[in-house]
Amino acid sequence: MNIGFIGLGTMGAPMAGHLLRAGNAVHVWSRRATGADSLVALGATRCASPAAVAAACGIVCTNLTGSADVEGIAGELAPGFAAGAIHVDFSTIAPSAARRIAAMYTVHEVDFVDAPVSGGGAGAQSATLAIMWGGKSALATRLQPLFKVLGKTVVHIGESGAGQVAKACNQIIMVAAIEATAEAARLAAAAGIDFAKVRSAMLGGSAGSRVLDVFGGRMATRDFAAGVEARLHHKDYALLMDEATRIGAPLPVAAAVWQQLNALLALGWGTQDSSTLLRVVEAAGSRHAP
């Protein structure tokens, strides 16, 4: 297939690489010209603009930071698309933004698929992402060869915007688990117990999880270098809290976790890993110590 890819960062670059290695003709564009260099070296075609990517491809993928980024690129892609093309967005954006983009494309006879992913950079590298997508179910046949190259789990959630709602649910549970792990680590330390040993015990019990394994491991070794920058989880929580407010869904635990993420950013740690929530809990404890 001729596939376009825009957004060649931690997630996008390895995803585009997998598509290349699977034998697809991949066309790329990057605001920073050097951002596409490694993929061009592997055989990708560099395009001069998003519209040029759209003109060359029946499917264009994006993986960008926020709603405004995706809406902006969609506006640049639209003039280049032929009728029947598909824009597949792997970003995490607001469900309302996904619906707006889908509606905008209808006049161009182009389909929009919101397909946020879970698995982080490691999942992108290993092609084991969980892909939750929203859009017309009739597109599944065309999308299946693309998705199977990139992910291990692929689920059609519903119409446009449904994939983003599913990702919001994923983030609620995952980041709340990171916060719970941070609080457990703080409790262990306050009691004079080695959290590394506590974590090892819990991994074999009912509290065992990927979050406890990965993020708990970083807390145990105090390795807060970014695996997943906390500012991105903060952005995701802002989106889901906005959606919850819009539809009147009470999320008391998520609201508390969002305040912890707010505190993390206020302390200047947004570019560190989300396991830095441990330091937020520790900072709060030090302020209240006798």
Q: What is the pLDDT of residues 193-202, one digit of tens each?
A: 999 999 999 9
Q: Active site residue: 136, 148, 152, 167, which one?
A: 167
* pLDDT at 209 > cutoff 80: yes
Averaged pLDDT score across all residues of the chain: 95
Across 265-282, average pLDDT? 97
Separation of alpha carbons 182 and 176, rounded Å = 10
pLDDT in tens, 48-63: 999 999 999 999 999 9
Residue 228: per-residue pLDDT: 87
From first CA to last CA, the distance across the chain in angstroms is 65
Token duo for residue 85: 């093309």
Q: How many residues does the chain have?
A: 290
Residue 288: per-residue pLDDT: 56
Residue 226: per-residue pLDDT: 80
Residue 285: per-residue pLDDT: 75
Residue 33: per-residue pLDDT: 81
* pLDDT at 110 > cutoff 70: yes
Across 202-206, average pLDDT? 97
DSSP string, the chain: -EEEEE--STTHHHHHHHHHHTT-EEEEE-SSGGGGHHHHHHTPEE-SSHHHHHHH-SEEEE--SSHHHHHHHHHHHGGGPPTT-EEEE-S---HHHHHHHHHHHHTTT-EEEE--EESHHHHHHHT-EEEEEES-GGGHHHHHHHHHHHEEEEEEEESTTHHHHHHHHHHHHHHHHHHHHHHHHHHHHHTT--HHHHHHHHHTSTT--HHHHHHHHHHHHT--S-SSBHHHHHHHHHHHHHHHHHHT---HHHHHHHHHHHHHHHTT-TTSBGGGHHHHHHHHHHHH--
Q: Domains for the chain: give ranges and CATH numbers.
A: 2-159 (3.40.50.720), 166-288 (1.10.1040.10)
pLDDT in tens, 250-264: 999 999 999 999 999
Across 178-189, average pLDDT? 98
* pLDDT at 126 > cutoff 80: yes
Residue 287: per-residue pLDDT: 64
Instruction: Confirm whether 197 is a catalytic residue.
Output: no
